[in-house]
Amino acid sequence: MVLPAGLWLLAFLVIPLSFMVSLSLQTGNLVDGFRQTLHWQNYADGLSTYGETFARSLWYGLLATVLCILLAYPAAYWIAFRAGRRKTMYLFLILLPYFVSFVLRTVAWRQVLSDNGPLLGPLRDHGPLPAGFHVLDTGFAVVAGLTYNFLPFMILPIYVALQRIDPRTVEAARDLYAGRAQAFGRVVLPLSLPGVFAGVIMTFVPASADFVNAEVLGGPGDTMIGNVIRAEYFESGAYPVASALSFTLTAILLVAIFVYARTLGTRGVLEAAR
């Protein structure tokens, strides 16, 4: 049953990616062409030049993921347990903004966060904010944008996992004199962990690799590694360097997720499975 999906990924992900792996070890330039020289230095250079940018990307990705959990869990919980029969409708409504192009969404964000926009304008003119205060073009705006853009990737899996929980198990816990918090902590939360786990992967990974939010909402000090990869590829035409940076990023994310799964994820997944 895995075969069709696996073959698809093999044909359209692994095989083309192997071109890029090969490319990441080459030297040369666009005009004279690139030659395979097994130049591992591309990786070392990338990591040493952009170490700080890598760290910033992971940090922003992590912040966005945590914020996503904090926002998504209550929302998913409410839909799964309190929304009654209109669950699908609410899910659909939450997703609706994401059917509209990200360009329009981020532009809308710029409108909202603008210095003289509906949010900050009045606060600065009549309130506590100092004159130079701004949100737009700061790291804060980038993280907010990431959180907003990747929220559905957290809500949906958590909802799916919560939805599976039979309310009767919660009732049973209450009958056994578990308090509200205890019932949640001992029953609901562990059972929903596979969803959180899936959500973390689907949020943290693409958020760390994102470039749109930093580009549109960030300032001079907020560049993420996605922006660097994009510039190396499109502007400099340094295809090997861009490829090497991409695989370095993929490897770092792989290790991060592996560590995460080891420390809490897997146990949660396995226990919830029983």
Partner 1 sequence: MRRRDVLRLSGAGLLLAACGVEGRGKSVDEGEFWTGKSRNGRLRWANWPGYMQDDRATIKAFEADSGIGVTYREVIQEMGPWFGKIQAPLAAGQSIGFDLMVMTNGIHLERCRRLGYLAPLDHGRLKNFAAHAGPGYKDPSYDPGNEFTVPYQAGITGIAYNTKYVDEEITSISQLFDPRYKGRVGMMSDSQELGNFGMFLLGIDPEKSTRADWERAAGKLREQRDSGIVRKYYEQNYVDAVSKGDVWLTMAWSGDVYSLTSPDVRFVVPEEGGTIWTDNLCVPVTAENPVDALALMDWLYVPEHNAPLTEFVNYITPVPAVRDIIARHAAQATGEEKEDLARLSESPLVFPSEGDMARLRHYRRFSQEEATEYQKIFQAIVRGA
Partner 2 sequence: MILFGFNDVQGKQNFRWEGFTLEWYARLFDRSDLTRALVNSLAIAFASTAVTTVLGTFAGLALARYRFRGRRAADLLLFMAIACPELVMGASLLSMFVTFGVPRGAPTILVAHVMFSIAFVTVTVRARAVGLDPAVGEAARDLGAGPWMRFRLVTLPMIRPGVVAGALLAFVLSVDDFVVTSFTGGATVTFPLWVYGSTRTGTPPQVNVMGTLIFAVGVLIAVGSARRTFRGRDAAGTGTGSGRAEPQADGTGKGTHEETDGHRRGR
Considering only residues 30 through 59, tell me which ones interact with partner 1, judged by CB under 8 A.
30-36, 49-50, 53
Q: How far is the CB of 32 from partner 1 (least distance, A)?
A: 5
With b for 16 or more beta-carbon neighbours within 10 A and e for fewer, the 173-203 pattern comes to beeeebeeeebbeebbeebbbbbbbbbbbbb
| Residues in 168-227 at the binding interface with partner 1, rule: CB under 8 A | 215-216, 218-223, 227
Q: Which residues contact 182 (CB under 8 A, 6 or more apart)?
A: 173
From residue 26 to residue 55, the character string flagging contacts with partner 2 as x (rule: CB under 8 A) and all else as - is: ------------------------------
Q: How far is the CB of 253 from partner 2 (least distance, A)?
A: 5
Strand, coil or helix: 26: strand
The tokens of 263 are what?
A: 């420390």
Q: 164 contacts which partner out of partner 2, partner 1, none, CB within 5 to 8 A by kind? A: partner 2
| Residues in 213-272 at the binding interface with partner 2, rule: CB under 8 A | 226, 229-230, 233, 239, 242-243, 246-247, 249-250, 253-254, 257, 269, 272
| Residues in 223-262 at the binding interface with partner 1, rule: CB under 8 A | 223, 227-228, 231, 233-239, 254, 258
From residue 203 to residue 222, the character string flagging contacts with partner 2 as x (rule: CB under 8 A) and all else as - is: --xx--x--x----------
Q: Where are the beta strands (DSSP E) in 30-107?
A: 33-36
Strand, coil or helix: 109: helix
The tokens of 244 are what?
A: 């090497």
Which of 125, 136, 120, 127 minimizes the C-alpha distance to 214?
Answer: 136
Q: Is 117 an interacting residue with respect to partner 2 (CB under 8 A)? A: no
Q: Name the residue nearer to partner 2 (CB basis): 117 or 219.
A: 117
Q: How far is the CB of 40 from partner 2 (least distance, A)?
A: 18
Q: Name the residue nearer to partner 1 (CB basis): 29 or 182.
A: 29
DSSP 236: S
The tokens of 126 are what?
A: 């009549």
